[in-house]
A and B are shown apart, each in its own frame.
Chain A
């Protein structure tokens, strides 16, 4: 026993997680590579470092949302309110800074808290009642969007603030876009929660079989609450970043963001009925959506057609998954 006691090395362990991730997501990775090759051949600017950083910047918001959404969906839930949370926190922050003269270092945490409150409300209702998450968060989606509209009087609040600008488009460590830093942090936090904590195990357990979870002494209410609060917090942060990127609070910011996030999660192989899923898949899902958006923009494809293509890709992925399961 003692001889075998090689202390688990943090990085080796991380490497193994990544490898396992690659293995479980083989199909979609191949799909991604094919898309990249096609786009690389069809367009010149696609396969450039510059475009790569571009894509990373473009997908950052979706990655943040999709990480939270992965936990929500593995738990067996869904959160439609994340796009509206973006608007709530983003607009509130801009309003506080521009209209009320609150310094940005105070306005930002206040707005994040406000956005998180939506998540707390979602979690409180969903964990304490049997009302479906779909309904609760659908209502909150409308309420949140409505408030953002009322608060901004359906206009755009412009912001001129140094910290805010830095959050939206700064670089760190000699040129790394700050968005990449956000992504790395959110992915790391989510991966740790899902794979290295009791909470993570419990999320899978509750999503797989709620009753069995209760019989195993798992506090399903607390787990549900925590997950929706994390989701709310992530979305609120995404709201600040989104607004900071455009230096403005617009009431329609983040519209449809929930759908992109859900698509990424589904593309990544997470089961909508809960209990099964991997964060690695979600991240690749985000990249697929990002690459498609970016490539179609470069190709100059009309935005209406872009929706169609993205829809088809999601359908395709689910169909492939479905037939794979049937064959088994």
Chain B
């Protein structure tokens, strides 16, 4: 019997730069098949070829044993392939039903959309997959996780046989990940194949049957998940063993840099208390919606505090905007790199140096050499995979985009660096590098606030962790108290409800 999907010898170059060469992928019916590989290994590119977004240079794609030509997204859809992108492609101001039927509305003879009928059918799908939602809800009323469900339902409603999920969990909380798993299990039962891309190895063990590893645009091999150890996966992916994953030294100096008392932004942040010492890494934990990002955004002057006191180096401060915060030595790597972080149409150089332009743009002179030196130093230090400093950032793989964003803040010394999900979409090797980097920054006397949804990361990297629930800080755990259970208990402790 032939496989459901067979991609053979796929190759692809972007303007002479070889990204995939001779990649093979075999996926069976009802299988959850992981694609694993470092940032820039070519996972997304391979899937975009399958989804009709890019055209391959060479190789063949067969579905159900029959060779197919996929030239566009519509082609792919006709052949039963749907991609759930990391950035959801839905219209926020339309209802669930309207989104599901977007582009193929059910119309009556006069050409008027039959909303009732659409809602009925959509509801059918929602019920079938046991998603407790009404199909006439507007999308912006839903959490990201729910929106993702809708996107998956949309794919299913197209009759998808193969659903690709490119880093689907990167903005989900643990509970939401569970819901996604549940959905994947239902898809499996219906013989749909799921291709699952994630940098979180735990997830692969949770949900996938087999794993295909890519390295530098070549397939290294396919393994059965159950029979493969973590170390084995990592060495397949990286090409060598990764000795130390977390780098953590004790750098805390007993000198309070920042003290936050009863902070509130009048919205999601209700009452937050913590202090930050010099050289300390303070983790912030909590479920999605706990107000973690909102808290750090308020510290950085992106929103204004309504109540409470922020004391910085012993003086009360209230930054009206990020400019003031930056002038005082604050730095901020935002959560959503595409919306809040990067200048996607501009090149790596521009993105890296935007905060320090006065260093090489002086008196109407542009010291390119200096700028290039700064940029290539960062590219080397952080092993950013680029064709050069002039590569446009939107053409980089997700993880490398994240590195560029972090690199931006390493160009200048900061007293307090706020990192919101710093390792989102970053591969294991790079994660290890980023951890070492963070540790080094702390060693140099910088104080770090790290918001993260990855508990192992918080537990292993933080000196202390502040836990939040519904806008309140529910406790601060010291290093020896850090454990998943302790964090989760505090993360679900309702205050003043």
Q: Is B346 an interface residue (CB 8 A)?
A: yes
Q: B residues within 8 A CB of A198? A: 357-358, 361
Q: Which residue of A lies closest to B360 (CB)?
A: A8
**Contact status B350-A201, CB under 8 Å:** yes
**Contact status B369-A219, CB under 8 Å:** no
Expressed in whole angstroms, the Cα–Cα distance for A218 and B354 within the complex equals 9
Q: B residues within 8 A CB of A208? A: 343-346
Q: B residues within 8 A CB of A276? A: 345-346
B482 shortest CB reach to chain A, Å: 30
Interface residues on B, range: 20 to 34
**Contact status A217-B368, CB under 8 Å:** no
- Known contacts: A10-B365, A211-B340, A276-B345. The answer to whether A205 contacts B354 by CB under 8 A is yes
**Contact status B345-A13, CB under 8 Å:** no
**Contact status A13-B368, CB under 8 Å:** yes
Expressed in whole angstroms, the Cα–Cα distance for A154 and B46 within the complex equals 65
Stretch of A189-197, A232-240, A297-305 lying at the B interface: A189-197
A73 shortest CB reach to chain B, Å: 13
- Known contacts: A215-B322, A215-B340. The answer to whether A271 contacts B365 by CB under 8 A is no
**Contact status B339-A212, CB under 8 Å:** yes
**Contact status A209-B344, CB under 8 Å:** yes
Expressed in whole angstroms, the Cα–Cα distance for A195 and B365 within the complex equals 9
**Contact status B341-A215, CB under 8 Å:** yes
Q: B residues within 8 A CB of A212? A: 339-343
A192 shortest CB reach to chain B, Å: 5
Interface residues of A in 159-202 (CB under 8 A from B): 192, 195-198, 201
**Contact status A201-B345, CB under 8 Å:** no
Expressed in whole angstroms, the Cα–Cα distance for A8 and B368 within the complex equals 8
**Contact status B321-A204, CB under 8 Å:** no
A68 shortest CB reach to chain B, Å: 19
- Known contacts: A214-B302, A276-B345. The answer to whether A204 contacts B350 by CB under 8 A is yes
**Contact status A217-B325, CB under 8 Å:** yes
- Known contacts: A8-B365, A13-B366, A198-B357. The answer to whether A275 contacts B343 by CB under 8 A is yes
Expressed in whole angstroms, the Cα–Cα distance for A174 and B85 within the complex equals 65
B468 shortest CB reach to chain A, Å: 21
Interface residues of A in 206-256 (CB under 8 A from B): 208-209, 211-219
Q: Which residue of A lies closest to B363 (CB)?
A: A196
**Contact status A8-B322, CB under 8 Å:** no
Expressed in whole angstroms, the Cα–Cα distance for A4 and B321 within the complex equals 39
Q: B residues within 8 A CB of A192? A: 364
How many chain-A residues does the 8 Å CB contact rule pick out?
29
Q: Is A44 an interface residue (CB 8 A)?
A: no
Q: Is A328 an interface residue (CB 8 A)?
A: yes
Expressed in whole angstroms, the Cα–Cα distance for A215 and B325 within the complex equals 11
A319 shortest CB reach to chain B, Å: 20
Expressed in whole angstroms, the Cα–Cα distance for A256 and B408 within the complex equals 43
Question: Among the listed B323, B342, B346, B361, which residue makes an inter-chain contact with A196, where contact means beta carbons less than 8 Å apart?
Answer: B361
Question: Among the listed B302, B325, B345, B369, which residue makes an inter-chain contact with A8, where contact means beta carbons less than 8 Å apart?
Answer: B369
Expressed in whole angstroms, the Cα–Cα distance for A226 and B492 within the complex equals 49
Q: A residues within 8 A CB of B321? A: 214, 217, 219
Expressed in whole angstroms, the Cα–Cα distance for A204 and B344 within the complex equals 11
Expressed in whole angstroms, the Cα–Cα distance for A211 and B334 within the complex equals 11
Expressed in whole angstroms, the Cα–Cα distance for A276 and B342 within the complex equals 14
Q: Is B143 an interface residue (CB 8 A)?
A: no
Expressed in whole angstroms, the Cα–Cα distance for A195 and B366 within the complex equals 8
Q: Which of A196, A205, A212, A218 has the most CB of B within 10 A?
A: A212
**Contact status B357-A201, CB under 8 Å:** yes
Q: A residues within 8 A CB of B14? A: 328
Q: Which residue of B lies closest to A215 (CB)?
A: B340
Expressed in whole angstroms, the Cα–Cα distance for A212 and B351 within the complex equals 10
**Contact status A8-B367, CB under 8 Å:** yes
Q: B residues within 8 A CB of A6? A: 369
**Contact status B357-A219, CB under 8 Å:** no
Interface residues of B in 1-34 (CB under 8 A from A): 14-15
**Contact status B361-A197, CB under 8 Å:** yes
Q: A residues within 8 A CB of B361? A: 196-198, 201
Contact with B along A297-328 (1 / 0, CB 8 A): 00000000000000000000000000000001
Expressed in whole angstroms, the Cα–Cα distance for A266 and B380 within the complex equals 37
B336 shortest CB reach to chain A, Å: 9
Expressed in whole angstroms, the Cα–Cα distance for A311 and B350 within the complex equals 34
Q: B residues within 8 A CB of A218? A: 323, 354
Q: Which residue of A lies closest to B339 (CB)?
A: A211
Q: Is B472 an interface residue (CB 8 A)?
A: no
Q: A residues within 8 A CB of B322? A: 214-217
Question: Among the listed A13, A197, A217, which residue makes an inter-chain contact with B326, where contact means beta carbons less than 8 Å apart?
Answer: A217
**Contact status B366-A8, CB under 8 Å:** yes
**Contact status B354-A216, CB under 8 Å:** yes
Q: Using a CB–CB distance below 8 Å, which chain B residues touch chain A? A: 14-15, 302, 321-323, 325-326, 332, 334, 339-346, 350, 354-355, 357-358, 361, 364-369, 408
For this complex, 7 residue pairs linking A to B, each with C-beta atoms less than 8 Å apart, are A196-B365, A197-B364, A198-B361, A204-B343, A209-B342, A211-B339, A214-B321
Q: Using a CB–CB distance below 8 Å, which chain A residues touch chain B? A: 4, 6, 8, 10, 13, 16, 192, 195-198, 201, 204-205, 208-209, 211-219, 271, 275-276, 328
Q: 17 more A-B contacts (CB under 8 A) besides A8-B368, A196-B365, A215-B340?
A: A8-B366, A13-B368, A195-B366, A197-B361, A198-B361, A204-B350, A208-B345, A209-B342, A212-B339, A215-B302, A215-B334, A216-B322, A217-B321, A217-B325, A275-B346, A276-B346, A328-B14
